[in-house]
Amino acid sequence: MADKEKKSVGKMILKVIKWFFLGLLILILSVLLIHTICTGVAQVLLRNYIKDVEPVVYENQLVPEVDEKTGFYTITSDDDIRIMQLNDLHIGGGLATLKKDKKTVYEVATMVQKEKPDLIILNGDSIFAVPDLIFNGGGTLNNKMVSKEVALFFDTLGAYYTVAFGNHDTEAFDYTNRENLGKLYMDEKYKYCIFNSDFDGYGVTNQCILLKDTKDNIKKALFVIDSNDYIDNSISSSINWRYDTINDKQIDWVKDTVKSLSEKNGTEIKSLFFFHIPTGEFASAYAELAANDFKDTEDVKYIEGIWGEEVSEDINTRIWYGGCCQTDKDPKDVDNFFEELGPDGINTMEAIFCAHDHTNNAVVEYKGVLLAYGNSLDNTAYSGIAAYGPQRGAVVITVKNDGTWTQEHKNAYKDYGADTNKFINVDASTWYRPDYAPAK
């Protein structure tokens, strides 16, 4: 009798365990189904909002064309050519970020409609397809789908644009990789996207765009560079911010391209560089200024802006530069980019325009080269940043016919008139982190 009771109890326990796991499976599947439906609804709502955006009204829009001699996209004009740098849109693409995504779309549209740039450079982290509860993302991991929304948005605006990938455009857990994402932006259906992967030996978004006058003289080369993402494809590297550097193969491509263009042009070509993750020189310049109470030194001259990132205990700086995980090296020694292309190399580099650190917008001159953080457009990644406005905006680079140029940081609210009460109330005067440098 006892054996029968034991068997009966054992069967009951097995049934309970079976029904528990079955119920748990049903619960998980139900949550996933609801999440998928909510994400789909959010995508439709965001897409419809984007489709209602008014296109930019141009009087005489410059049309980039592929130059037959070089194979590179070229913008030709004897007048000023204006490039608008937009950083860190961080479109989440899910229900969790829908309101903030709409806010970003509204703010960017307002700026582009008023600026009417000849070219927009999306300088990395245009999307943020990561989990919502852990990383403040939209909840979808379909980075291809979210990138389609970005491409649709700028095509709807009718402004010519190209892209540099950041570390968040492709994550280890995302749906597609950098190569496939690059192919998406090269799809002919995106009429206003002029992205072309001119070099894919390392990274994807490596592109040269030429600015010429009507006599076929190159007045400036724009290099959009893939600063890559992480040192490997592991989730561990993603969550621990082990950023990769610009590879020597990319540097060699730039050197070969500049040499070829200089020979064709009959003069040495000068270049402006755009990429997402700053190089170690940004950290070296900051350290030198900070050690001198932010007064100019022989190599570094402070121009404008602030460093608003927290000082990391891991790397002891406010700059999350490429290769910062190599803590045994001096920041400026983790790659050869500046050394090979700057004043001690082929001397083509006039400026680097980067992104990545959302509350840094400082600009300095380092060994004669402008190192410029742009403004950020993040409303999602940094918790609560949507309510703060001094860092939100664009950088406008104006290249004149003689090859000289200027750069101007412009604020979404104070310079472009974006509504501070649209979607989320924004304090346009208070910085996200009060502990910034240099203190004012």
Q: What CATH number should be reported for the domain holding residue 166?
A: 3.60.21.10
- pTM listed for this prediction: 0.93
Check residue 234 and give its pLDDT.
Answer: 87
Check residue 1 and give its pLDDT.
Answer: 47
- Sign, CA dihedral 165-358-287-317, equals negative
Indicate whether 182 belongs to any domain. yes
What single-letter DSSP state applies at residue 25?
Answer: H
**Residue written as token pair 């290099």:** 223
Strands 218-224, 271-274: pairing kind: parallel
CA distance 229 to 271: 23
Question: Length of the chain, please?
Answer: 440
Say what the alpha-carbon torsion angle 373, 378, 380, 384 is, to the nearest 10 degrees: 80
Six-digit token string for 75: 């913008």
Indicate whether 425 belongs to any domain. no
Strands 207-212, 73-76: pairing kind: parallel
Percent of the chain that is helix, strand, coil (3-state, to 5): 35, 20, 50
Check residue 174 and give its pLDDT.
Answer: 84
Indicate whether 433 belongs to any domain. no
Six-digit token string for 274: 């755009």
Helix extents (H) in 211-333: 235-239, 248-265, 280-291
DSSP SS3 for 428: coil
Check residue 336 and give its pLDDT.
Answer: 97
Regions in the chain scoring below 50 on pLDDT = 1
Q: Tell which phi-psi region holds residue 241, choosing left (phi > 0), alpha (psi between -120 and 50) or beta.
A: left
Nearest partner of 408 among 327, 305, 321, judged by Cα: 305
Indicate whether 364 belongs to any domain. yes
Q: At what angle do helices 98-115 and 2-51 cross, to 10 degrees?
A: 20
- Please give the tally of structural domains in the chain: 1
Indicate whether 109 belongs to any domain. yes
Check residue 90 and give its pLDDT.
Answer: 96
Beta-carbon neighbour count of residue 200 at 10 Å? 15
The answer to whether the beta carbons of residues 230 and 222 sit under 8 Å apart is no
- Amino acid residing at 331: P
The answer to whether the beta carbons of residues 303 and 382 sit under 8 Å apart is no
CA distance 399 to 12: 79
CA distance 351 to 303: 13
Check residue 4 and give its pLDDT.
Answer: 59
DSSP SS3 for 109: helix
Nearest partner of 153 among 225, 93, 63, judged by Cα: 93
Six-digit token string for 261: 């263009």
The answer to whether the beta carbons of residues 360 and 309 sit under 8 Å apart is yes
Indicate whether 84 belongs to any domain. yes
Domain range for 57 is 53-411
CA distance 65 to 73: 5
- Sign, CA dihedral 372-377-379-381, equals negative
Indicate whether 416 belongs to any domain. no
**What contacts 217, CB < 8 A, 6 or more positions away?**
265
Of the CA atoms within 13 Å of residue 211, those in its CB half-sphere come to: 27
Indicate whether 155 belongs to any domain. yes
**Residue written as token pair 């060994």:** 367
